[in-house]
Each structure stands twice: as C-alpha cells, then as structure tokens.
Amino acid sequence: MNNDNPRLRLGILGIVIVSLFAALFARLWYLQVMATKQFKTAAAALQTRTILEEAPRGRILDRNGVVLVDNRISVVVTVDKQRLADIRKHDDGRYTQIVDRLATEITRYMPEHPIDRAFIEHRLVDPRYSPYLPVPIADDIPKPLELYLAEHHDLFADVVSVKQTTIRSYPLGRTASHVLGYVGAITQEELDAHRQSPKTYSLGDEIGKTGVERTYEDELRGTPGRQVLEVDSKGNTVRELRHDPPIPGDDVYLTIDANIQAITEQSLHDELVAAHNRRNSNGSYNAAPAGAAVVLDPNTGQVIAMASYPDFDPSEFTRPIPTERWNQLNDPSLDFPLNNRALQGQYAPGSTFKLITAVAGLRSGAITPATTINDTGVFHVPGCSGEQCTFTNSGHESHGAVNLRRAITVSSDVYFYALGAQFWAQRSTYGDPIQATAEDFGLGSATGIPLPGEQTGFVFTPETLKKIHEKYPADYPNGDWFTGNNIQLAIGQNVVAVTPLQLANAYAVVANGGTLYSPNIALKVQKAGGGPIVRTIEPRVLHQVQMPPEVRDPLMAGFIGAVNSPEGTAYGAFRAFPNWQVAGKTGTAQVTGKSDTALFVGIAPADAPNYVGVAVLEQSGFGATAAAPVIRRVFQSLADPANAPTVGPGGVLSAPAPGAVDNSQGAPD
C-alpha cells in the first residue's frame, strides 16, 4: 500500500494539472472566438465617440397653411459640468471665480435676465440635463456677449462655450396657446417611456408637454443626427468616421383657422372685461375671471377654434421657466392660466341642457311638439308642501301658453320643470330618459379629442348619487334622489356638468342630423418643407343618434326663434346679423356663492349648418347678455369675411372683432 501512495498522488496531481490547463484553454478559446465581437465593440468604444445632434421639430400650421409654431436659431451659453466639477475638486477658489464671473457677465449684457451663482449651480444639478453634455445657462444671448466669451475663453478655463441651437417660435404670439401646448426638457420618467422610440432621446432633449406638441410628439420630433469621431487616448478628436445629418420632424396641419381662432380669443376676452365692468341690478359687479369658447364644424367634427382665458405665452417655455413663474401659472388665485377650460372646465349647462330634456321627452312619448302648458312663471311640485316645492322662471316671468318650440325660444323653465317632474313620477314607465339621452349625445364621457387632459363631466342618476354620497358623505350629505333633483336636472342644474367641448359636440348632432363625432384637432401630417403627405386625419364617428325630422324640426324651430324672434332670449345679441340666419340657445347656470355662469350655443347657418359655437363665461351673468355676444362676433366674421379682421404677427388683429349690438332685448337667460 505504501508503494502505491506516490503513484496515487501523482495521478491526482496530473488530473488537477490537466483540468487547470483545460480550463485555461477553454477560457482562451472563449475570449479569442466567442467574445471577439464583444471585445471589438468595447475596443472601438475606447477609440470612438458618438455625438447626437438634435433635429429641428416639425412646424405646426393652421388649416390654411398659416404657421403657428416654427423654429428659430438661438445662441446659447453652455457649461461643461464635468470639467467644472474637476476644477472645483482641485481648486474651489478657481471654481467660484469662474461661476461668479460668468453670472456677472451674463447679467451685464442681459440685464433683463439677471442671474447669480445660485442660478448656475441649480442648473448644473438639474436632473433634466444629461451629466455628459454641456448644460445651457442662457439663451438668445446678444452678439456682444458672444464675442466677449469667445475672446476671453481663457478666463473660464474652457468650461464655458457658445453654440447655436433651434428653439420654438410663435409667429402669432399667444394665439391658440392652449391648443398648441409647449415643449420642455425631457424628464427621466419620460425618457424611460421613450426608450424604444426610433427617434433617440437623451436627457436635456425637448419633448412635448401639453397640447398638440404632446399629442403629436412622434410626428413633430425629428430624428437626431449622429456623428462618430475617432479619438486618441487623451480624448482628442483624430478624424470623423461617420456623419448622419439630423432629419427634421414632420409638419402637422391643424383644423384650426388662425383668423377665427384669434377673433374667438379676442371676443372672449372683451366680453369677460365687459361683464366685469357691468353693474348688476343689486349694484354689484361680476368677477368674470375666466371662460372658454369652441367652434366646431358639425359635419366633420373638426375644431375650427378653441379658446380659453386666461391664457399664457408659450414662448416662456422655450427656456427653463423659473419656479416662481411656474407657481403663478398654476395658482388658483390667478385662475390656473395653464388650464384649457374648453375641455377641462366642467360647468352646469343651465338652459342649454334643455336640448337633452326635450329630446328625451319626444323620444319617450311624454310630450309631442304640440304639447302645450300654461306657464304662469311658477311650478309647484304635485303633492308637495313647503318652500322647496316651488320652482320659478328666471325673474318670475310668465310666458302663458307654450308648446315645445316656444318653450325653447323663450326658455320656459316651467315647461321643463313639469317634464322633469313627470319623468320622476312615472319612472316605472319612463326609466331615466334624460340621463339616457345625455349619454347618447356624448355627455358624461370624454369626446376623445386628441388633446391631453380632457375631463368627462357628469350626469348623475339616482344610483350614482347614492354611491357618491356613500363615498363622499361630507360633500354629498344626501344620497336620496327626489323630484327636485329631476327638476333641476331637466334645466341643467345641480346634478349635471359638461365641458364646453362636450356641449358643442352635443349640439353638433342636431346641426348635422344625427352623427356624434369624436372631434379632430389635426388635418394632416406632412414631410417638412412641403414634402409628401405622411397621413391625413379622417373624421371619426362615435355613433349615430336617432334624429328624425319629427324630433329635429321642432328643436331647430325653437333654436331659430331664440335668436330671431323678438321674444327670443338671444334676439338682442343677434339683431341685424348679416347674410345668415342663426339658431341658438342661451343658458344661465347658478353657482352657489358666486355670480351666474353665462352660456350660449349657436348654430349657423340655420338652414344648412356649417358651424356650432359655444361660449361659457364664468361668473358673468346672463347667457344672453354675456355669452351670446362672443358667438355673435365669431359668426359675423364667418358670415361676412370681407369685413372680418385678419390676424398678423404677434396675434394682433387688423381691426377689432365685430361688436355685438345692444342685447338688452329678449328674455334674460
């Protein structure tokens, strides 16, 4: 046994040695054969540097080719944060000297945009900017500052540089700001969401944040250029190996008409000012802080104009916006200027909702066009006693005998009170026809317009009210549904809210004879510089709504009367209107603790509608007095284009929008 031990040990040692060599050769084979491609790539990376060159975004134009958003060249001061960090690590005094000198020189040449060291240091750590790319400190710098920095680059230790870049420009100023939206530096969250995009994103790149800029980001963004440089061991460029130039983004043509958009915005603003300065019967003045207006083509669902006030200047976002200014734009005391009230504002529709109640009555058979009641100005809930059992017309006005057409023309609340009460008293027969009709007309759900942030509004049912009460007992202390709820619903109060866009879309169904569209904001996408059309955006039909002549005709007759009959609620606002006959409906919605919200919906021309316009003015009084003149001005520009103002640079109109005539005549609603 002892003689065998050396042999055993040698055998084991031999196996170990063979195994080690086998493992070594296997590793060498892997490195030489299997991992060749990987190491070649790594070696190449040590010898090359890839630089991405941001591409210009596509333009945004109106339906007639008027440029709404363009690009312009801006000269920008940038700081190499890595090189500056190295200086700070070795010489903090030198770092402080460079940063302070840069802040001083920028402020000296650009006193309208003063900065200090804190501003620069905050920008250097801003997570929106890539740690590997120069950080922009100031843009649109004047030529003297550019020359100074070029001549004194040694004072800044090659940390500061000047480059040209493209930024968004707005030839028509604030016009359509809520529709267009704005761009800003991409966040890490947005970067992660676009990892798979063929149009490569990097930290510091711009991306659409709101409006069309966000919705059509994929089309508007260009394809970045790619420059591959060969570098030596010290990082110095040896030669250019490859250069793929940037490809500009596609142009997006909107359904918006720039002229009508500017007129709509100006008219909305002017009427809010007029409402604010108008003394009420009790001696008070209206707050009139905000509002919205929408103009649709009812035959296609295209948005011709969409205005919201207060608005904002999108050019403010071409540079990083200061925190103080950002807070102002989102301040409730300043009425949230960034909110697009046309699709985000939710309002009680008031008497404009009578369209829905009337259709529900006709469909259910509860009324016919000839059904007539005696409107004494007061409605008493049958079988009820107490103060909450009585509902009155606006101003307690009595209208006498009213059928459906006249009830719409004079806006008889009593007529619709009675219908709402009838529906509730006979719910076992009718169900909830008002809510069902509202749903059919698209109320209580998003229209699907391709813009971010759209709200759905709501139309309560007894069941939803009960659920909401159980969830929010403090805000909705009573979960029971009474006759009064149905009466309020019938005239668009209390248990219903709509956006101006939803309201316009619902009336478009009547105007076009029964088609509910999902509104479009864009017409087509086209290659930059007038290249080939990439795609066109076709009308999108949600569904058909039953609108036979026996339903549509009495409704349109009532709407025509509301504008053209001397007893119509909007008669004063539309007297002597040129060329067209206009149909419409006024609305005044009560808001607890505030002045009334004024609403108006217009349809024109009444015999063959091409436009539906809606105006909603918060805390502005009667719809006939405050809201109808907005649509009057817009429609008059469409009906009489030869005398309509045109929009010019900066969004300035060539002449004032056509003024509304005295609208004191007609019932206040």
**Does 560 have pLDDT greater than 50?**
yes
Q: Are 608 and 511 in contact (CB under 8 A)?
A: no
- Which stretches of 300-426 are DSSP H helices? 323-329, 341-344, 354-364, 404-410, 413-425
Q: Give residue 497's pLDDT.
A: 97
Query: Which residues make beta-bridge pairs with 544?
Result: 515
Q: Is the dihedral of CA 163, 166, 168, 171 positive or negative?
A: positive
Question: Torsion over CA of 617, 620, 624 and 629, rounded to 10 degrees?
Answer: -60
**In the chain, pLDDT over 70 holds for what percent of residues?**
94
Average pLDDT over the chain, rounded to whole? 91
Residue 71 burial (CB count, 10 A): 17
Q: Is the dihedral of CA 210, 216, 218, 223 positive or negative?
A: negative
544 alpha carbon, distance to own chain's centre: 27
pLDDT digits (tens, 9 = 90+) for 322-341: 888 999 999 999 999 999 99
Average pLDDT in the 207-217 region?
A: 97
**Does 142 have pLDDT greater than 60?**
yes
Half-sphere exposure of 495 (CA within 13 A, CB side): 29
pTM of the shown model: 0.87
**Does 237 have pLDDT greater than 70?**
no
pLDDT digits (tens, 9 = 90+) for 585-596: 999 998 888 889
519-523, 602-606, 660-664, range with the lowest pLDDT = 660-664
Q: Could you give the 3-state DSSP secondary structure of residue 34?
A: helix
DSSP string, 484-516: HHHHHHHTT-SSEEB-HHHHHHHHHHHHHTSEE
Average pLDDT in the 438-462 region?
A: 97
Question: Which letter does DSSP use for residue 219 in this model?
Answer: H
Residue bearing tokens 């009812």 = 298
Q: Give all strands (DSSP E) within 245-298, no chain letters.
A: 251-254, 291-297
Cα distances (Å, whole numbers) of residue 475 to 82, 470, 498, 560: 54, 10, 19, 40
DSSP string, 400-440: EEE-HHHHHHHT-HHHHHHHHHHHHHTHHHH-SHHHHHHHH
Q: Which domains does the chain have, with CATH numbers?
A: 70-169+182-251 (3.90.1310), 258-651 (3.40.710.10)
| Rounded distance between C-alpha atoms, residue 311 and residue 313, angstroms | 7
| Rounded distance between C-alpha atoms, residue 361 and residue 404, angstroms | 10
Q: Give all strands (DSSP E) within 209-301, no chain letters.
A: 225-231, 237-244, 251-254, 291-297
Q: Are 378 and 394 in contact (CB under 8 A)?
A: no
Cα distances (Å, whole numbers) of residue 572 to 408, 507, 558, 586, 661: 16, 22, 16, 12, 7
Q: Give residue 1's pLDDT.
A: 45
Q: Are 241 and 223 in contact (CB under 8 A)?
A: no
**Does 394 have pLDDT greater than 90?**
no
Q: Give residue 298's pLDDT.
A: 98
User: For the chain, what percentages of helix, strand and coil (3-state, to nearest 5) are there?
Assistant: 40, 20, 40
